Structure 1
Amino acid sequence: MFDTSASPGDAALLPESIPSAEPSPCLQDLESLLRNLPVQRRRVQRKQVLFRTGQPCHSLFLIHAGFFKTCILSEDGREKITGFHLRGDLLGIDSFDMPSYACDAIALDTCEIWELPLAELRRTPELLPHVTAMLANEIRRDWRWMLALGTLSAEQRVAAFLLDLATRFASLGFSARHLLLRMTRAELGNFLALQLETVTRALSRLASAGLINVDGREIRIENPTALRALLAGD
């Protein structure tokens, strides 16, 4: 799924300005705990829906492999993507204290998820601190993206997304220079509140400036320093 050939220069990619990803410090401990519980492991195929808005909320889902998008529908039926999620993210956490799921979760490639029934969570109190920490991390990420979408230009939003994704990959031990985007340009634009054409132009301009190299959905970050400088407005 990802290029795992991490290089010494990957650390230089970590963005110094918002938004920035925070690797989940609880992931390893959480997975260790779940291995000792009757957790169902499931494979989810690309485009398959894991859960829909309004369905009874009975479980949380830890992504063990793969890539998901979460989205909600506006009153006029338009889809709004609220996030892209990869290994270590806990799907359904935004509905933790609700009777039904608050969004749709859809696989963007072949995924493996570990299903954690809420009933099991209540019986295993040692899981709660990990879930709480992941919920807090998710809230902080949402805040950063709200600020980014309200203050950054189109090119800065795309640059921020690439740096954020690179940081998330690096936190999982993958290369931060080679990114394989599982979402379409339209889906990326939807998340960044940009038109498809605007995303395409922004990627082309970043490539022309030598900051990235684009080959379909494969992105190579060529100049992380300049990419961060773009975010800072330099």
Structure 2
Amino acid sequence: MIDIAALSAYVPVTRRRLRAGQYLYRAGQRFNALYIVHAGFLRTSLCSDDGRQQVTGFPMRGELLGVESIGSDRYSVDVVALDTCEVIELAYPAVMTACAAMNALQALLTQALATELRRDHYWMLTLGTLGAEQRVAAFLLDLSRRHRALGFCASHFLLRMSRVDIASFLGLKHETVTRALSQLAARGIIAVERREIRIVCTEKLQRQADGPQVERRAA
């Protein structure tokens, strides 16, 4: 995590708390800040002109929000809190000037852009090549890895997002997501209690996410 006290010497820094359901910003609003997630889970989404919504991600602690709008004068996505959240607001374009004085800030910005590109490529491949149950397995593994990276338990966590949100992100119907979770639980790979997930066997979950592709490569 970047040193906020040191950063405040170069950039106006504001801490903001959000309650569940409160928007951090909406698509079309004037782009005037980047945000570091300090605590909590959020949801990013796009909305079409006819009202259709597509969930694009679930940012959590340490991630940088707003980078998708750099180079534009408007935010391009909606960002809403899924639970009680705290974010650190960094005024823009002052944050870009500060990059020249703080190597850590420049590294954070570069890492955020690179991570977003890698994640986009990963999910493009996942959604374009995997079946429904494989997508759900891959989603759980991704959450597990992100929890582990933050020092949290990687095998036991809460789904802060709804089944509908997960379905939108994975390009599925919410009934399909519910059925896939039930099938994984029935095979003893995970345990599900409402929004509580426990990964019983990570190796089996990984094999489920890999699916028949691994078998075809080995053949």
Same fold (TM > 0.5): yes
In structure 1, which of residues 163, 166, 170 is the aligned counterpart of residue 148 of structure 2? 170
In the alignment, residue 68 of structure 1 is paired with which amino acid? L
Q: 1:100 to 1:193 in 2, by over 3 A?
A: same
Matched, 1:104 2:104: no
Matched, 1:145 2:118: no
Structure 2: how far apart are the matches of 1:208 and 1:30? Answer: 46
Residue 47 of structure 1 aligns to a residue whose secondary structure is: coil
Superposed, which structure 2 residues align to 1:15-26 within 5 Å?
Answer: none
- Are 2:42 and 1:68 aligned? yes
Give the deviation of 1:128 after TM superposition. Answer: 2.7
After superposition, residues 1-234 of structure 1 pair within 5 angstroms as: 28-29=1-2, 31=4, 33-34=6-7, 36=9, 37-124=11-98, 125=100, 126=102, 127-233=105-211
How many angstroms apart in 1 are the aligned matches of 2:120 and 2:4? 24
Q: Deviations over 1:48-92 (max 9, x none)?
A: 011011100000010000000000112321111011110011111
CA distance in 1, matches of 2:62, 2:128: 27
Q: Looking at both structures, which has the greater relative contact order when contacts are Cα pairs under 8 Å and sequence separation is at least 6? A: 1
Superposed displacement of residue 30, structure 1: 5.6
Q: Take 1:74 and 1:151, find their aligned partners in 2: how far apart are those partners?
A: 25
**Residue 215 (structure 2) aligns with:** none
Q: CA RMSD in A?
A: 1.4
TM-score by length of 1: 0.85
Moved over 4 A (4+): 30-33
Number of corresponding residues: 207
| Cα displacement string for residues 82-138 of structure 1 (whole angstroms, at most 9, x for unaligned residues) | 111100111111001110000000000000000011132133122233202211111
**Equivalent residue letter for 2:7:** L
Q: Percent identity?
A: 49
Structure 2 alignment gaps of length 5 or more = 213-219
